[in-house]
Amino acid sequence: VFDLDSVAVVPPEVDLSEVAALPMVGLTALRMLRESGPLPGRRVLITGASGGVGRVAVQLARHGGAYVIAAVGSASRGDGLAALGADEVVVGLKGVGDPVDVVLDTVGGAQLVAAWGLLAPGGVVHSIGWASGEPAVFPVNSTFVPGASRTLRSFGDTTAPAADLALLVDLVAQGVLRAPIGWRGSWRRLGVAIEALRERRVPGKVLLDLD
C-alpha cells in the first residue's frame, strides 16, 4: 500500500520505463538545489557529475540559471555533460579557479575537503554521497573562515515525494530533463550490467527491462 504523497502520474507521452530510473537521483538533486536558494548567476559545482545524481543535477542547475561546473574522475567520464548543460567539465578539482557558491558532492573523502576549500562566503556544500570510500580529513582551522558562514549539509529526506516526482516527470515531458540511463538491457543480462557498473563504464543508472 502506497500513500498518495508517494506517487505521481506519468502521462502517456513519457516513457514509464525511462522515468523509472529517475526517482531517487531526481529527488536528491532537486531537493538539494532547492535548499541552496536562488540559482541564477551562482556558480554550482557538482562532483561525481557522471553518475546518476550528478547528471540530473547538471540539468536542473542549468535550468535554474546557474553556472554549472561538472567535476569527473577522468576525461572519458565527462562525455556528454556539456550537452546536458555543464558550462565547464573538469577532471578533479584543481581545474576550478574561482570560488563556488554551491557544491553537490557525491564523492566524499579528500574531494569533499577540497570542495569545502573552494566555497565562497555564504556558500553551502551538500554531502550526498561517498563514492570514494575514503575518510575526509579537514586541516586544523579549515572550518574557521572570516566572512559570511559557510555550511556543510547532509541529505537523506525523500519523504512525501509526490509533488516533486510530478515536477520531475513534467520536466521530462517538456524535454528539459533526461533520465540518467547509462546502460539498458534485458534483466537476463544482469551479470553484464553488474560488470559494467563495477568497471565504472556506466554514465548514470542501469535500467533492466523485464522482458
Give residue 156's pLDDT band: very low, low, confident or very high (50, 70, 90). Answer: confident
Report CA Rg, the chain.
Answer: 17
Give residue 208's pLDDT band: very low, low, confident or very high (50, 70, 90). Answer: very high
Statement: residue 43 has pLDDT above 90:
yes
* Separation between Cα atoms, residue 165 and residue 175, nearest integer Å: 15
Spatial neighbors of 24 by CB under 8 A, at least 6 apart, are: 52, 158
Q: How does the average pLDDT of the chain come out, rounded? A: 94
- Residue 158 confidence (pLDDT): 86
Which run of H or E residues covers position 97? none
The answer to whether 93 and 118 are in contact (CB under 8 A) is yes
Mean pLDDT, range 132-152, rounded to an integer: 93
- pTM equals 0.93
Statement: residue 1 has pLDDT above 60:
no
- Residue 4 confidence (pLDDT): 79
User: Angle CA(149)–CA(90)–CA(167) in degrees, nearest 5?
Assistant: 70
**Regarding the domain with residue range 14-154, which homologous superfamily does it belong to in the CATH classification?**
NAD(P)-binding Rossmann-like Domain (3.40.50.720)
- Residue 2 confidence (pLDDT): 59
Q: At what angle do helices 162-174 and 23-34 cross, to 10 degrees?
A: 100
User: For the chain, what are the domain ranges?
Assistant: 14-154
* Separation between Cα atoms, residue 136 and residue 79, nearest integer Å: 28
The proportion of the chain whose per-residue pLDDT surpasses 70, expressed as a percent, equals: 99
Task: Kindly report, residue by residue over 178-200, the tens digit of the pLDDT.
Answer: 999 999 999 999 999 999 999 98
Spatial neighbors of 98 by CB under 8 A, at least 6 apart, are: 43
- Residue 197 confidence (pLDDT): 92
- Residue 94 confidence (pLDDT): 92
- Residue 166 confidence (pLDDT): 96
Give residue 157's pLDDT band: very low, low, confident or very high (50, 70, 90). Answer: confident
| Residue 139, C-alpha cell as written in the block | 586541516
* Separation between Cα atoms, residue 203 and residue 50, nearest integer Å: 5
Give the single-character DSSP code of 139: P
